[in-house]
Amino acid sequence: MPAMYAIIDVETTGGSPSIDRIIEIAVIVYDGVNVIEQYSSLVNPRRNIDKYVTQLTGITDKMVKNAPAFEDIQDKILELTEGNIFVAHNVKFDYGMIRSEYKRIGVDFVRKHIDTVTLSQKVLPGFTSYSLGSLCDSLGIIIENRHRALGDAEATVKLLDIILKQSTSKKHIEIELNQGIDPSILPPNITLGEIEKLPEEPGVFYFKDMDDNVLFIDASKNVRREVIKFFNKNEGLPERQVSHQTITQIDYQATGNELIARLWAYHELRERAPIFNKKPKDYKFSHGIFLTSDSDGFKHLKIEKLDFAEGEVALKFQGKGTAIKVLHKIITEGHLQVQFSLLKKMTDPEQRENFKKSYNEKIERAVRKYLYKNTNFFIVGDGRRPDENSVVWIENSNYRGYGYICPELNEVTVENLMASVKPQTDDLEIQKIIRQELRKGKGLRIISY
């Protein structure tokens, strides 16, 4: 029986599956020769459409106001894609957006999928650009209604038809359908079926032996992709060959977002010490940069051992040398030399009192900025289910732990957020993980208190 394809294109309110929503969808069922069925619809995203999207697509808030919501058409999308290969130009985006829509209504949408970008690069080499517009121009494919779902889907059908007629297409489609992995490099006890069961979402994965011992742990924003990447790389290394022979099962834990995945994996590494992971460094804090106040109420920065009884420790370090380097950086980047000089020159009590507030704010801002922008806050992100949020707690610039909260069952108050967190230990690696994910900022929001 010939393969059946569901060629899909979506238009959205923006580019993030975790935040944005579908505003138009088109599905064309194609058997490799003929179009069997096609469906398209505007979709009410229940949020405003970005102005840039409206300029690009012509779709306005008014146009989608009375359109069906995604949950109203989800049965039709399931019907059209069931048993068919999901095809899109840049499939990661379209597939990711549709998976996110289904996740919101509690449905795990999983389909075998192929990307006409990747396939075109393999079987139609030599083009300077593989965007849908450029590729279609080069191949003489006319796109009716560019940047509308049905127009782009119809163009993708024509592109797929050209791909299927190439002699090498079958080989590369098989690789795509196998998640981009060559079955011959898998461990002898791991099948493609087990790889396909892994979620394409953030989480922690575990490689285990036949006695259920954990051999390797890692975190990723896409568990399945990271596992495939692991097996694809460095397969010639002796230690990798040994690990391949030993692995008999793959387990995973969904986390909702990459920040929790990385924190979870790090704690697991410290507890379990798997033989194929590098051992985490043993961080022990000894010194800190303290915020102290003099008798006149002016704040100062001092480096002391952590048992120093005065003031508040703002940053912790493994040694005094590192603390000195960081303090120098804080003073330089915060231009604090100017503040110190101004204060030193002031002798008039009233002038000094008027200067105190701005001086203290600049001192605090400079030292806090080096670690976190806020002192006491929660980082709230996506949870493992649509009705759940993850919570990371920072208090006095110290990591307190992470957990999950269901806003429908527990009001999102400071007290409830604190109660949802499982206590964990802070260290330099934890601080690095949190800073890196905050810089990305995707799908995370800050609640300060």
CA distance 104 to 195: 24
Residue range 5-177 in CATH 3.30.420.10: yes
| All residues at 6 or more sequence positions from 412 whose CB lies less than 8 Å from its CB, including other chains | 380, 389, 405, 447
Instruction: Show the low-confidence residues of the chain (pLDDT under 70).
Output: 1, 179-180, 182, 234-243
Which pair of structure tokens corresponds to residue 152?
A: 């782009």
Q: Residue 269 and residue 279: Cα distance in Å, rounded?
A: 8
pLDDT of residue 182: 67
Coil, strand, or helix at residue 46?
coil
Alpha carbon distance 239, 307 (integer Å): 44
The 10 Å Cβ neighbour count of residue 75 is: 9
Q: What is the DSSP letter of 41?
A: E
Query: pLDDT > 90: what percent of the chain?
Result: 71
Domain with CATH 3.30.420.10 in the chain: 5-177
Cα 408-413-415 angle, rounded to 5 deg: 120
pLDDT digits (tens, 9 = 90+) for 259-304: 999 999 999 999 999 998 988 887 788 999 999 999 999 999 999 9
Give the C-alpha distances (Å, rounded to integers) separating 375 from 76, 336, 369, 398, 425.
Answer: 49, 20, 10, 8, 17
How far is it, in rounded angstroms, from Cα 434 to Cα 357?
30
User: Beta strands 85-88 and 113-115: pairing type?
Assistant: parallel
Q: What is the pLDDT of residues 309-348, one digit of tens each?
A: 888 888 888 899 999 999 999 999 889 999 999 999 998 9
Q: How far apart are CA 327 and CA 290, in angstroms?
A: 10
Beta strand pairing status for 113-115 and 22-30?
unpaired
CATH class of 183-272: alpha beta
Calculate the alpha carbon distances from 207 to 211, 245, 277 in Å: 12, 11, 11
| Cut 0.85: pTM above it | no
Task: Say what the pLDDT of residue 237 is.
Answer: 47
Q: Where in the chain is the domain with CATH 3.40.1440.10?
A: 183-272
Q: Are 196 and 190 contacting, i.e. CB atoms less than 8 angstroms apart?
A: no
